[in-house]
Amino acid sequence: MDYKKLGFKCGIEAHQQLEGNKLFCNCPSIVHDKDPDIFFERKLMAVTGEMGKTDLAAKAEMKKNRINKYEACSSSSCLLEMDEEPPHSVNQNALETALEVAMLMNMKIVDEVEFMRKIVVDGSNVSGFQRTAIIGMDGYIDTSKGKVIIESLFLEEEAAQKIKEDGNSVSWRLDRLGVPLLEVQTDANIKDADHAKEVASKIGMILRSTGKVKRGIGTIRQDVNVSIKGHPRIEIKGFQELKILSEVVETEIKRQQKNMGEDPHVRKFNSDGTTEFMRPMPGGARMYPETDVPSIKITKSMIKAIKIPELISDRILKYEKEGINPDLAIGLVKNNIQLADYNYRIDKNFLAHVLIELPKEIKKRFGLDYKFQEKDFNFVLVAYEKKKITKEAIIDILTSIAKGEDINLKKYAPVDDSKIDGEIKEIVEKNKNLSVGGIMGIVMGKYRGKVDGNKISKLVNKYMN
């Protein structure tokens, strides 16, 4: 595709959920809670914007005359989510994370954070609006195809999650409502479909670099705006899979080429890679000030106090420069493990292998999804450094920790070389009818986790021949 000739314009809006607490109450940031114990219904009311205009999208929704059914868990929702209480003061941690992101994206930070009410018409906000505040603007990120302008960063409330549409009613879960959400908007100068994917993935990496974002499917979503010459802007919403972002953009270009007379609108992304009409593009009459939340001055000392996190990509590079192999380097950073926290006189790649690969292997082999703590690793690593256990014992001991078993380190004490030598000789002589494999089986059964398997194999072969 000749993107220049097409007059291709593309911008991305990324939405990232934050860990911790909700934005305006103390409910935890839980996206999928247990069984709901609160149920109520609301009908969408006509909301007229400040300028006296009713939003086009709102009108379209109201024509549907739907009932919204809400369910919530008291463990993750309070009166605020039910719109029966005014918002508490803004979550300071979320605000700080937003400031970190603004700095990482080279943005100008606002002098004062002022929350607005953005009209939301689909029932996904019980109140009929979403609280949102601009935190930064006019930033940029570096990409392989040049700087991409980051127009704005917003801190806002996540919406409720749709769980069912049933004739004239829509059901929503409120767990997610009010979870802090960062919205990053690029300008429309993304160069092509592959570039769109690169930009989205870079934005995701920067957001994750704060260490304060939620992880996993659905915790980051991209809306992609696409247009070609002679065609209005189309927004594709709810994108979660970065892998197919380029393909979806290409498919949208082809769709626009076939549908030149269209109005601007929002399309919904389907999991099979196609898109479908969702609603008209929301108009401008959709924001008004949130008077229940006092504005927050961003002072110089506040900015000074912010610690700008090191980018994930830089952290990986640093490990690679220290001689850590790339896969392990990525693993360390992904799991937020600092190798420097484990100060042992052992090979760094072996150390990284213990921290990253062994838990994975234990999960795979025994189905144990145990979250190893620093003290678990320290327990085995101290013993290994002091030569109280062998290399081979490390995985066995970690497995026992995962199983919650009592551990007797003496069981794993390395065996003296001359003793093994003698015993292997004896086993071989006693079992003359057995193959190498058979002998290995007996010896490994006896010494498993106590001596190096290669050493045993060599000795067995020595006495078998």
Which residues are at the interface with Zn ion (CB under 5 A)?
25, 27, 78, 80
Q: Decide whether 176 or 279 has the Cβ nearer to Zn ion.
A: 176
**DSSP-assigned states of every residue in 355-388:** HHHHHHHHHHHH-------HHHHHHHHHHHHTTS
Q: Decide whether 38 or 434 has the Cβ nearer to Zn ion.
A: 38
C-alpha distances (whole Å) from 49 to each of 57, 58, 87, 308, 455 are 12, 10, 21, 38, 79
Q: Decide whether 25 or 451 has the Cβ nearer to Zn ion.
A: 25
**Cβ-based burial of 144 (10 A; exposed 0-12, middle 13-18, buried ≥19):** exposed
CB of 22 to Zn ion, least distance (A): 5
Q: Decide whether 26 or 259 has the Cβ nearer to Zn ion.
A: 26
CB of 126 to Zn ion, least distance (A): 11
Dist CA 169 CA 44 (whole Å): 11
Backbone φ and ψ for 261, nearest 5 degrees, come out as -85, 15
Q: Decide whether 155 or 184 has the Cβ nearer to Zn ion.
A: 155
- Region of 33 on the Ramachandran plot (φ > 0 left; ψ -120 to 50 alpha; else beta): beta
Is residue 187 within 8 A of residue 151, CB to CB? The reply is yes
Which amino acid is present at 126?
V
Q: Decide whether 74 or 373 has the Cβ nearer to Zn ion.
A: 74
Name the one residue in this structure whose structure tokens are 């400040």. Answer: 50
CB of 267 to Zn ion, least distance (A): 32
Structure tokens at 316: 């990986």
Backbone φ and ψ for 138, nearest 5 degrees, come out as 50, 50
CB of 288 to Zn ion, least distance (A): 23
Q: Decide whether 78 or 332 has the Cβ nearer to Zn ion.
A: 78
Backbone φ and ψ for 113, nearest 5 degrees, come out as -90, 120
Dist CA 159 CA 36 (whole Å): 17
E-strand stretches of 56-114: 67-72, 108-109, 112-113
CB of 42 to Zn ion, least distance (A): 17
Is residue 82 within 8 A of residue 177, CB to CB? The reply is no
CB of 403 to Zn ion, least distance (A): 38
Q: Decide whether 81 or 235 has the Cβ nearer to Zn ion.
A: 81
Dist CA 221 CA 95 (whole Å): 20
Residues 80-104 as b or e (16 or more Cβ within 10 Å = b): bbbbeeebbebbeebbbbbbbbbbb
CB of 84 to Zn ion, least distance (A): 11
Dist CA 87 CA 80 (whole Å): 6
Q: Decide whether 176 or 231 has the Cβ nearer to Zn ion.
A: 176
Structure tokens at 20: 């911790």
CB of 261 to Zn ion, least distance (A): 46
Paired strand residues for 152: 137, 185
Q: Decide whether 27 or 116 has the Cβ nearer to Zn ion.
A: 27
Residues 182-221 as b or e (16 or more Cβ within 10 Å = b): bbbbbbbbbbbbebbbbbbbbbbebbbbbebbbeeeebbb
CB of 178 to Zn ion, least distance (A): 6
CB of 123 to Zn ion, least distance (A): 18
Q: Decide whether 131 or 191 has the Cβ nearer to Zn ion.
A: 131
Q: Is 252 helix (H, G, I), strand (E, B) or coil?
A: helix
CB of 309 to Zn ion, least distance (A): 28
